[in-house]
Chains A and B, each alone.
Chain A
Amino acid sequence: MASIVKLRRRDLLKAGAILGGGLVLGVHLPLVRGRAAQEAGTEPAPDPNAWIRIGPDDVVTVVVHHSEMGQGVYTGIPMLVAEELEVEWSRVRCEAAPVAAVYNHPWWGVQGTGGSTSIPSSWEPLRRVGATARTMLIAAAAAEWGVPAGECTAEGGRVLHRSSGREARYGALAQKAARLPVPAAVPLKEPKDFKLIGRPLPRLDTPEKAHGTAMFGIDVALPGMLTAVVARAPSFGGTVARFDAEKARAVPGVTLVAEVPSGVAVVAEGFHAATEGRDALEVEWAPGPEPQLSSEGLRQRYRELSGQPGSVARRDGDPAAALGRGAKTLTAEYEVPFLAHATMEPLNCAVDLRADRCEIWTGTQFQTADRNAAAAAAGLPPERVHLHTLLLGGGFGRRANPASDFVTEAVHVAKAAKAPVKVLWTREDDTRGGYYRPFWYDRISGALDADGRPMAWLHRIVGQSILAGTPFEAHMVKGGVDETSVEGAADLPYAIPHVQVELHSPRIPVPVLWWRSVGHSHTAFVVESFVDELAAAAGADPYAFRRGLLEEQPRHRGVLDLAAERAGWGKALPAGRHRGIAVHKSFGSYVAQVAEVSVDERGRVRVHRVVCAIDCGTVVNPDTVAAQIEGGIIFGLSATLYGELTFEKGRVRQGNFDDYPLVRLSDAPEVEVHIVPSEVPPSGVGEPGVPPIAPAVANAVFAATGKRLRRLPLTPERVRGG
């Protein structure tokens, strides 16, 4: 119950009260900047009152506008603020922001987390928040002492006036400082003066996560709260034809059965009763538009498309003609399956809907979209809807849904229940609930000249557009090309004179969404496997072959060289072990991985060690970077070895971890992460570790077996059968 009181205290933030805990009369400056304004340095000064609260006990609470899903923003963002604010790390706490325009993502214009952009987009503005607040605290002390502010310094949470020996703690100054005008254009520290940034500081959320007191969306308890599960159509686009709730209603604990737009909700006292009730529910489903959808059928459809010209995403020179002039030409077809995000915390959302207001508790990556969708569903103005962001037990993109599916559904259930209600998804609901990483089928051709150098490259991609039908379509789908479908392919870094990348975006009734590393999750596998095929055709070492094509790409070469060197590329390995290499740029960062792999006689692939080099610009917290790369590799390894959703008669066959397995501890390789030192601004870290692992492993399997595998996952049957 104590947790609910804590959550409701967030209402105080709406009064704008923060620095010093008193009411503030400061100007609330518009903060929808856009990336260009940010990079030009032309955005307005931030109001520290929205971001920092300093208590009389000197505890500094940073309000974090991004969602914490394990990637470490609840530590990284406060580090940016604390660095410039000049406070001891031990005094820093953090809190999730409410939904408000001041917390909009500076590049997106709405509040949300994704694209590995939290630190890169906060790098400048959040440091400026800290610097601005520090300046105001100094000004407050200087005014109190009647001395020039220029004679004062700030350090360790205190303002000092050395010549008179006076000092004041921030906790004593905060209320006064909060009332001062907000200065513009406060300069930031030089990197050589960083005390916090660049150090592996302990994460603020580690203790609660180790002790089990961390609160996730699924843990929320409201007075009088009921629990609901929803029966949804087994095939996408299907609807309720009729249902019989008699047996469901008779289950002890079930309070209500009601149709909602997404299916039939069973509301009960507790999860057990709700699921028992749903098991007793009889629903007849009207089929969706493709009731016979099957993986085999899709594969054939996509394969046909891959043989036809598509929308052009890139054309250098005349690849079609150049292919014909090669000394050696190769063509290959690659495919990767639909994938579920499989966050360990299944989807959930709690709603307390009243006549004039609505409160929502959930782990979401998309606050503005969800709040607005909830308001529309509730028939309330957005300012009457308060969305509380809890910790996310994994996001990976599933909780950033432009359709706001799980939040909107919960509002509809709350309308029917006329009581506070938490909608829980079972693992089967979650696995079969759609919004997958799409199925991709690629056809790729390359030609080598007489010297074994690639001269032509034609890559044709077939797969659903994630952005079609979303608000992002307007500026991210151009000329029929969804940027996210070709990222990692259209920006091929290799020095090949004739390059063409084409796209087909078939429309099928399977909801799709970004999945950690998005388009790169598929293009890196194809590109880095096919370049390996060209290397083999040229009789060249895979590392040297790539290196030779990256002369104009120093940052690609930098990570490639570092990974190869630390992996001991070229040196002897224990018997049965083989290496594969891959290099890929995504989300602004450059990553190379070398995988050491063995394959047994049953075709089982074992990854023993992965050596990874990353260039992500300036590093805020190196331990977070290492953790994200370790985690990204293991996340990607599940997709490499196991992950596959298949369709039969319109339905997804898999449902839980018994048929949609994940990598376990005994599968996990030793991972070494090497960070390239850099002083350019930070680039993405959450996702870039994922794309290279699949091709690095597949390339190692080729080295081990002589078999080129062009389809994920690398099941033992496929490795054996070839």
Chain B
Amino acid sequence: MIALDVNGVVHQLDVDPETPLLWVVRERLGLTGTKFGCGIEECGACTMHVDGVATKTCQLPVGRVQGKKVTTIEGLPEDHPVKRAWVAEEVPQCGYCQPGMVMAAASLLAARPNPTPAEVDRAMDANLCRCGTYPRIRRAIRRAAKGG
């Protein structure tokens, strides 16, 4: 049995500890906000927070996050400055990459409240967007950094 703390709720799960956290959260907990894009930690669609830090989860064995706090996109409050900024700047197009983007941006701003453009680029390069919303992501992060 694995004790998994997701968004403040502890679940007791009978699951193979090698199962990637992404699939435990999506399939066993029914939290489908976090997405599958590549399976090799190249696209960032699977980004959650583990103890507050943006972490890719498509290859992360669930056994390794026992005792840690996992936060998913569903666990960020609706009035989180990043979510508000994402809405204000009309960032999403297809929207599939955006939960990962929001989690990456939230983690960045928690660590660096006033990132330089180069710091934004470096941090957000972990996440791919096929629709090309990058210019709006830049603007939304600037907006969120200013307090939304």
Of residues 40 through 64 on chain B, the ones whose CB sits less than 8 Å from some CB of chain A are 40, 42-43, 45
Which residues of B89-148 are within 8 A (CB) of A?
90-99, 102, 120-122, 124-125, 127-138
Number of interface residues of B (CB under 8 A): 55
Contact of B35 among A69, A211, A342, A345 (CB under 8 A): A345
Are A627 and B99 CB-contacts (below 8 A) given A427-B40, A632-B132, A670-B135? no
Q: Which of A212, A271, A272, A342 contacts B72 (CB 8 A)?
A: A212
- Please, which residue of chain B has its CB at the minimum distance from the CB of A69? B94
From residue B45, how far is it (CB to closest CB) to chain A in Å? 6
Q: Are A631 and B131 in contact (CB under 8 A)?
A: yes
Question: Nearest-CB distance from A310 to chain B (Å)?
Answer: 34
A699 → chain B closest CB, angstroms: 21
Residues A665 and B137 in contact, CB atoms below 8 Å apart: yes
Task: Point out the residues of chain A lying under 8 angstroms from B131, CB to CB.
Answer: 70, 344, 394, 631, 634-635
Please measure, in the bound complex, the distance between the C-alpha atom of A207 and the C-alpha atom of B102, giving whole angstroms: 12
Contact B130 A209 (CB under 8 A): no
Contact between B125 and A344, CB atoms less than 8 A apart = no
**Is the pair B37, A272 in contact by a Cβ cutoff of 8 Å?**
no
CB-defined contacts of A271 to chain B, threshold 8 Å: 23, 27, 36
Contacts of A343 in B (CB 8 A): 94, 96, 130
- Do B130 and A342 have beta carbons less than 8 Å apart? yes
**Bound: A214/B138 CA distance, A:** 22
Would you call A215 an interface residue if the criterion is a C-beta within 8 Å of the partner chain's C-beta atoms?
yes
- Binary per-residue interface labels of chain A (418-446) against chain B in the complex, 1 for a CB within 8 Å, 0 otherwise: 00000010110000000000000000000
Q: Is A206 touching B90 in the complex (CB atoms < 8 A)?
A: yes
Q: Contact at B39–A206, with CB atoms within 8 Å?
A: no
Give the CA-CA distance A344 to B35 in the complex, in Å. 9
Residue-by-residue, is A613-654 near B (CB-CB < 8 Å gives 1, otherwise 0)? 000000000010001101111110100000000000000000
Complex partner residue of A206 from B20, B87, B129, CB under 8 angstroms: B87
Tell me which of A207, A623, A637, A665 has the highest count of chain B C-beta atoms within 10 A of its own C-beta: A665
**What's the nearest-Cβ distance from chain A to residue B90, in Å?**
6
Q: Are B92 and A272 in contact (CB under 8 A)?
A: no
Inter-chain CA distance A396–B86, complex, in Å, is 23
Closest to A207 in B: B87
Instruction: Output the nearest chain B residue to A342 by Cβ-Cβ distance.
Output: B130
Specify which of B92, B95, B137 lies most central, judged by the most chain A CB atoms within 10 Å of its CB. Answer: B95
With A345-B35, A668-B132 already in contact, the answer to whether A627 and B94 are too (CB < 8 A) is no
Chain A residues within 8 Å of B137, by CB: 665
Partner of B34, one of A68, A212, A215, A345: A212
A215 to chain B, nearest CB (A): 7
CA distance A427 to B138 in the complex (A): 27
Decide if A219 is an interface residue (CB 8 Å cutoff): yes
Asked if B30 and A666 make an inter-chain contact with CB atoms under 8 angstroms apart, the answer reads no
Q: Are the C-beta atoms of A218 and B90 separated by less than 8 Å?
A: no
Q: In the complex, are the beta carbons of B95 and A205 less than 8 A apart?
A: yes
Question: Which of B23, B45, B95, B134 lies in contact with A634, CB distance below 8 A?
Answer: B134
Give chain B nearest CB distance to A628 CB in angstroms.
Answer: 8
When chains A and B are docked, how far (Å) is the Cα of A271 from the Cα of B72?
A: 19
Cα distance A346–B45 in the bound complex, in angstroms: 12
Measured between C-beta atoms, what is the minimum distance from A667 to chain B in Å?
A: 8
Contact partners of A393 in chain B: CB under 8 A: 35, 94-97
A211, A392, A634, A663: the one contacting B94 at CB < 8 Å is A392
Cβ of B9 under 8 Å from chain A = no
B19 at the interface (CB under 8 A from A): yes
- Check A252/B32 contact, CB under 8 A, given A70-B94, A206-B90, A393-B96: no
Chain A 668-680 per-residue mask, 1 if CB under 8 angstroms from chain B, else 0: 1011000000000
How close is B117's CB to chain A, nearest CB, in angstroms? 10
Q: Indicate if the CB atoms of A664 and B125 lie closer than 8 Å.
A: yes
Contact A71 B93, CB 8 Å, known A212-B74, A344-B45, A393-B35: yes
Interface-central residue, A205, A252, A395, by most chain B CB under 10 Å: A205
Contact digits for A201-223, partner B, Cβ 8 Å, 1 yes 0 no: 01101111111111110110100
- A183 at the A/B interface (Cβ < 8 Å)? no
Q: How far apart are the CA atoms of A100 and B35 in the complex, in Å?
A: 31
A624 to chain B, nearest CB (A): 9
Give complex CA distance A457, B53 in Å.
Answer: 58
CB distance from A70 to the nearest CB of B (A): 3
B132/A252 in contact, CB under 8 A: no
Q: Let me know if B73 is at the binding interface, CB within 8 A.
A: yes
Chain A residues contacting B138 (CB-CB under 8 Å) are: 665, 668
The answer to whether B92 and A210 touch across the interface, beta carbons within 8 angstroms, is: yes
Cβ contacts under 8 Å, B91 to chain A: 206, 210
Question: Does A451 sit within 8 A of B, measured CB to CB?
Answer: no
CA distance A214 to B134 in the complex (A): 20
> Any chain B CB within 8 A of the CB of A193?
no
> A70-B131, A211-B33, A665-B129 known; 17 other A-B pairs, CB under 8 Å?
A202-B90, A205-B92, A210-B95, A212-B34, A212-B72, A212-B98, A272-B23, A343-B130, A344-B130, A396-B130, A424-B36, A628-B93, A634-B129, A635-B131, A656-B38, A656-B39, A665-B137
The 6 closest A-B pairs by CB, nearest first: A634-B132, A212-B33, A393-B96, A209-B95, A70-B94, A70-B93
User: Can you list 28 A-B pairs with a CB-CB distance of less than 8 A?
Assistant: A70-B131, A71-B93, A206-B87, A206-B91, A206-B92, A210-B91, A211-B33, A212-B72, A212-B98, A221-B27, A271-B23, A342-B130, A344-B43, A345-B35, A393-B35, A393-B96, A396-B130, A427-B37, A427-B39, A632-B132, A633-B132, A635-B132, A637-B132, A656-B40, A662-B130, A665-B124, A665-B137, A666-B122
Residues of B bordering A, CB below 8 Å: 16, 19-20, 23, 26-28, 30, 32-40, 42-43, 45, 72-74, 78, 83, 86-87, 90-99, 102, 120-122, 124-125, 127-138
